[in-house]
A and B are shown apart, each in its own frame.
Chain A
Amino acid sequence: MSRIRVLVGTRKGAFVLTADGKRQSWDVSGPHFGGWEIYHLKGSPADPNRLYASQSSSWFGQVIQRSSDGGKTWEAVGNKFAYEGAVGNHLWYDGTQRPFEFARVWHLEPALNDPDTVYAGIQDAAMFRTTDGGQSWRELPGLRNHPSAAQWQPGAGGMCLHTILLDPSHPGRIYIAISAAGVFRTDDGGETWRPMNRGLVSEQIPNPTAEVGHCVHRIAMHPSRPGVLFMQKHWDVMRSDDAAESWKDVGGNLPTDFGFPIDVHAHEPNTVYVVPIKSDSEHYLPDGKLRVYRSRTGGHEWEALTKGLPQSHCYVNVLRDAMAVDALEPCGVYFGTTGGQVYASADAGDSWAPIVRDLPSVVSVEVQTLP
């Protein structure tokens, strides 16, 4: 029987949650790296026992941890993230220019076919890669050297490169997203990049349809249909059917189209999940109700999923990297909250139950489906 391993990053450590394929009884391991912020953990598709974790602290900076036994033991590997060449400037909150400065690693994306190759999205926004299992990291400077970089500006959480999607059918094609710059795509493995934000409308910036400057919170794809992308923007839920060349609004009947995570069902490329948040000033759920919304039509038409989720006095948030799906049948869906709950559904969202209720504030959730 398959097993499930859920990797949870929190403000005060990492947790590893495991269950058999029934997904009813969970073993909880952690905290690992207690007291440190764990922005993200992820396993290698090529070797599921190879895990990487971004461990950071305002006091002591960035550490990268690597496990080769599925999270039982860890070793610190390379943590030097030095921009290549001239650092350059980006737009600061007050409208002035400010040099790029490394703050932390937001997202680690292991390569699809090599456990020693990992992409890292960092703040201030840039893309790094290791090919030696994390011992050394080199920037892919073509992104930060894009002529638009001087117009990139930080979102409230900092100017982070938070999403990395590797296209399984086009080697060399990678999508990334930056808050607040938008989506970029490379077709040559990271040498050159193009902004891919046509169709986005952001009233919070001087030119709502600008080439860059959009606060994209998350993008997602189904591996069987990598030319179709879904986006949770600051406001607006969007879809692209042409590999991000253009985007259209598919928010439809959502109660609010502000939110952070978005993900796609493992077996139904047209089934999409979001968690609507009241607004960009409150950053909590509407009406005190924790509702995941599911579209089975690739957007426009959404249904609230509430069974097993609190429907009163709930004012948590679900952050951008804190939702994931497993590959079992039926598809499992998982998300973590800023209140420290990790919820799981073993029936594609029809019903939910908490795996854990009282962790530190959850930053990221990833799921591995193990043989």
Chain B
Amino acid sequence: MIRVVLPAHLRMLARVEGELKLEVEGPVTQRSILDAVEARYPMLRGTIRDQATRQRRAFVRFFACEEDLSQDSPDDPLPEAVATGVEPFLIVGAMAGG
């Protein structure tokens, strides 16, 4: 079970509280996690990554295990601690403006 933490604005949009807990098919990567998130919560499509290009939105960051993984390839395997649910995958709104 993968744990995902959404920023407050997206929790409100998805109408969820706390962490998401998702099953992810195949290798656990940014792409497979986001595919699973968007499949479960279609209202989040386009809010984390562009719907056409699948590129991460500029002011969104991905953290896990105290590392910024935002610039990594979306197909890179995520840390084992994320894949096993020990640590959450954090989707973060960048600190910029108010």
Contact = CB atoms under 8 A, between A and B. Distances in A.
A59 B97 CA distance: 10
A57 interface: yes
A245 B9 CA distance: 45
> Residue among A36, A57, A59, A76 with the most chain B CB within 10 A?
A59
Contacts, number: 48
A63 interface: yes
A212 B61 CA distance: 40
A61 B47 contact: yes
Contacts of B52: 80, 82
A60 B48 contact: yes
State the main secondary structure of chain A at its contact with B. loop
Contact of A58 (B13, B43, B50, B59): B59
Contacts of A57: 9
B57 A61 contact: yes
A36 B13 CA distance: 10
B46 A76 contact: no
Interface residues of B, number: 21
> Residue among A60, A62, A82 with the most chain B CB within 10 A?
A60
A79 interface: yes
Contact of B9 (A60, A79, A80, A82): A60
Contacts of B93: 59-60
Contacts of B81: none
A59 B51 contact: no
Contact of B46 (A35, A36, A59, A80): A80
B60 to A, nearest CB: 6
A34 interface: yes
The 7 closest A-B pairs by CB, nearest first: A76-B43, A60-B47, A59-B59, A59-B93, A80-B51, A79-B46, A61-B46
Interface of B: 7-10, 12-13, 43, 45-48, 50-52, 57, 59-60, 93-94, 96-97
15 contacts: A35-B12, A59-B7, A59-B9, A59-B93, A60-B9, A60-B10, A60-B48, A60-B93, A61-B46, A63-B43, A63-B46, A76-B13, A76-B43, A80-B45, A82-B52
Given A34-B12, A58-B97, A61-B50, 12 more contacts: A35-B12, A58-B96, A59-B57, A59-B60, A60-B9, A60-B60, A61-B46, A61-B47, A61-B57, A76-B43, A79-B45, A80-B52
